[in-house]
């Protein structure tokens, strides 16, 4: 998704910009259009010294500050310009762009709607409003706005590229590719369109084409952060870890790709042993990623004076039991949002494979590396002791906010054939908004444990009492693997990078078995193969 402010307009003649000021303003606009932002900004500032309330100079200097990343100053200047003219579609559009950049989505949407009301022919405002709605998770509404922007300006490559992104978000890959190829006819060197086309190819499992598209984008713009990050994900999926981990470090430069980068007084950790230092390792993305990459903590702790592990609150008790207890004070676990002890260096958990030089052959797979509390395990084993075996836990959905959740999660009803087969006892481990899906399974045949799974320490104890976990790609699957419990992972046709391609096992979790869709959306085929495997496992 891309959006830019329109080129600076020729300034209007006003009493506040006569003579020398008007000439300065025209020269500033000329430099601005040529991309010479510093020279243009200097001239806009000279205009404002002569006429401090000149609206065009205020607005266009605000546009430059926006382009340079100084959104606070951009907001002040553009608001000042609007105060002078009362209303102006171009000014409102620029204001909306700045508000969008700083995440004030309600205000951005309002400003952009005002811009369109003031000038219904403003293609840029339609495009930017589409961008705002994309950020609000409304791609269908964004499509209509991008299409209107293109109708107003048939050569508007940015809107065409954004239209491709919106169709991609909706899973309409044919329409997405058509829109992106239209961009590339208009602008063959449009790096973002090549990047978005790479995503479409990736989602169609056309991995060679995706890699070629990313390479094309980076040949045009070697600093294109999204192309670099997307290419890194693809390289990891292909098992090219050395290149993939290196390029994955650029993820921080892509808005929305991961959590926001954090600033610390201490320097980044370089991955080397630091016997005289305290190293701070913080969870960065989802719960599953924290569980997967916390495996590096024992190695780090062995070479440092002290290791502090910051994690999401639902993981705190489990991580304390697994790493802090018995460490003699060498490991401290802290919940995100709480007070963190002083440290000498820091690293994000998702950077640990890069810092460790992890290859396919050297994935640290010593399991279990997480531990449930023994008294909790005893309680769960006593409770389930009378149930028929095998005891199988079911998880059918992940976090609905995950951008790929529509592919990785399945309807609970898809698991009904397994339950109806009647082999053993089935337990619902699903929590969150998808928990209600248990009603889609045969009545009275699945024991719902969700209300008792208050955190991952409790879930870990429950898993220790089961013979098998069947799960889509979500945190419980990672937890079962980290506990060295038998877990069968049900994957979409195009999986997340961590599960690689064309294999039924994973180097990350030795006790995990992978069942992959053979065709997009074919959960029934996956469940059929799982059913056959269950029948073979427990005759």
pLDDT tens by residue, 101-159? 998 999 999 999 999 999 999 999 999 999 999 999 999 999 999 999 999 999 999 99
The closest alpha carbon to 94, from 54, 122, 133, belongs to 122
CA of 268: how far to CAs of 95, 284, 292, 429, in Å? Answer: 36, 15, 21, 38
Examine the pLDDT at 11 and tell me if it is beyond 70. no
Q: What integer pLDDT is reported at residue 2 of this predicted model? A: 55
Q: For residue 489, list its beta bridge partners.
A: 471, 514
Cα torsion angle, 303, 307, 312, 316, sign: positive
Examine the pLDDT at 6 and tell me if it is beyond 80. no
The closest alpha carbon to 487, from 502, 501, 505, 507, belongs to 505
Q: What integer pLDDT is reported at residue 14 of this predicted model? A: 45
The CA R_g of the chain, rounded to the nearest whole Å, is: 27
Q: What integer pLDDT is reported at residue 405 of this predicted model? A: 84
Q: What integer pLDDT is reported at residue 400 of this predicted model? A: 85
How far apart are the C-alpha atoms of 92 and 118, rounded to whole Å?
9
Encoding tokens for residue 401? 């906010």
Examine the pLDDT at 12 and tell me if it is beyond 80. no
How far apart are the C-alpha atoms of 144 and 326, rounded to whole Å?
59
In which band, very low, low, confident or very high, does the pLDDT at 536 lie, cut at 50, 70 and 90? Answer: very high
488-500 exposure pattern, b = at least 16 Cβ within 10 A, e = fewer: bbbbbbbbbbbbb
Q: What integer pLDDT is reported at residue 15 of this predicted model? A: 38
Question: What's the pLDDT tens digit per position in 183-212?
Answer: 999 999 999 999 999 999 999 999 999 999
Examine the pLDDT at 3 and tell me if it is beyond 80. no
Q: What integer pLDDT is reported at residue 1 of this predicted model? A: 60
Other beta carbons less than 10 A from residue 401's beta carbon: 9
How far apart are the C-alpha atoms of 270 and 275, rounded to whole Å?
13
Question: What's the pLDDT tens digit per position in 226-275?
Answer: 999 999 999 999 999 999 999 999 998 887 777 777 889 999 999 999 89
Question: 296 by DSSP, 3-state: which?
Answer: helix
Phi, psi of 61 (to 5 degrees): -65, -35
Q: What integer pLDDT is reported at residue 87 of this predicted model? A: 82
Examine the pLDDT at 16 and tell me if it is beyond 70. no
Instruction: Give percent of the chain with pLDDT exceeding 90.
Output: 85
The CATH superfamily of 374-537 is: Glycogen Phosphorylase B; (3.40.50.2000)
**DSSP conformational letter for 325:** T
Kindly state the average pLDDT of the residues 502-529. Answer: 97
Q: What integer pLDDT is reported at residue 5 of this predicted model? A: 55
Examine the pLDDT at 86 and tell me if it is beyond 50. yes
Residue 349 in contact with residue 290, Cβ under 8 Å?
Answer: yes
To the question of pTM greater than 0.85 for the whole model, the response is yes
Q: What integer pLDDT is reported at residue 470 of this predicted model? A: 98
Kindly state the average pLDDT of the residues 437-451. Answer: 94
Q: Which position has the higher pLDDT, 401 or 379?
A: 379
Average pLDDT of the chain is: 93
Q: What integer pLDDT is reported at residue 9 of this predicted model? A: 56
What ranges do the domains of the chain cover?
274-362, 374-537
């Amino acid at each position: 998704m891309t959006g830019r402010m329109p080129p600076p307009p020729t300034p209007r003649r006003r009493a506040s910009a006569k003579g020398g000021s008007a000439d300065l303003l025209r020269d500033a606009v000329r430099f601005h259009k040529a991309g010479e932002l510093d020279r243009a900004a200097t001239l806009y500032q000279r205009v404002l010294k002569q006429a401090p309330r000149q609206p065009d100079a205020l607005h266009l200097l605000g546009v430059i500050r926006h382009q340079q990343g100084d959104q606070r100053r951009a907001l002040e200047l553009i608001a000042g310009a609007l105060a002078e003219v009362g209303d102006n579609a171009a000014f409102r559009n620029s204001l909306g762009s700045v508000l969008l950049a700083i995440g004030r989505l309600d205000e951005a949407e309002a400003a952009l709607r005002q811009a369109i009301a003031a000038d219904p022919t403003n293609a840029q405002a339609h495009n930017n409003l589409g961008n705002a709605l994309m950020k609000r998770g409304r791609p269908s509404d964004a499509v209509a706005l991008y299409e209107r922007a293109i109708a107003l300006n048939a050569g508007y490559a940015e809107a065409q590229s954004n239209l491709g992104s919106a169709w991609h978000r909706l899973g309409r890959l044919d329409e997405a590719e058509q829109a992106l190829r239209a961009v590339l006819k208009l602008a063959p060197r449009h790096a973002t369109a090549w990047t978005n086309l790479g995503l479409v190819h990736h989602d169609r499992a056309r991995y060679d084409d995706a890699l070629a598209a990313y390479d094309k984008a980076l040949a045009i713009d070697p600093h294109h952060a999204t192309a670099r990050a997307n290419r890194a994900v693809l390289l990891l999926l292909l098992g090219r870890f050395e290149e993939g981990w290196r390029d994955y470090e650029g993820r921080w430069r892509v808005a929305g790709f991961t959590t926001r980068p954090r600033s610390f007084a201490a320097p980044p950790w370089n991955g080397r042993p630091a016997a005289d230092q305290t190293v701070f390792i913080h969870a960065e993305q989802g719960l599953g990623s924290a569980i997967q990459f916390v495996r590096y903590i024992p190695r780090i702790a062995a070479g440092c004076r002290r290791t502090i592990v910051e994690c999401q609150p639902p993981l705190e008790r489990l991580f304390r039991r697994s790493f802090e207890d018995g460490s003699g004070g060498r490991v401290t676990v802290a919940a995100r949002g709480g007070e963190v002890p002083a440290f000498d260096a820091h690293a994000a958990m998702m950077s640990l494979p890069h810092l460790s030089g992890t290859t396919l052959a050297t994935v640290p797979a010593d399991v279990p590396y997480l531990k449930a509390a023994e008294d909790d395990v005893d309680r769960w084993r006593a409770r389930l002791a009378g149930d028929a075996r095998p005891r199988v836990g079911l998880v059918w959905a992940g976090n609905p906010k995950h951008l790929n959740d529509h592919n990785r999660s399945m309807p609970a009803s898809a698991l009904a054939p397994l339950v109806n087969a009647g082999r053993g006892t089935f337990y619902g481990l699903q929590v969150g908004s998808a928990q209600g899906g248990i009603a889609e399974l045969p009545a009275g045949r699945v024991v719902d444990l969700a209300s008792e799974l208050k955190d991952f320490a409790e879930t870990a104890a429950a898993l220790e009492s089961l013979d098998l976990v069947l799960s889509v790609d979500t945190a419980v699957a990672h937890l079962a693997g980290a506990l060295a419990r038998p877990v069968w992972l049900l994957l979409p046709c195009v999986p997340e990078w961590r599960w690689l391609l064309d294999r039924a096992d994973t180097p990350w979790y030795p006790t995990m078995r992978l069942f992959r869709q053979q065709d997009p959306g074919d959960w029934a085929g996956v469940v059929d193969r799982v059913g056959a495997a269950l029948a073979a496992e427990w005759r």
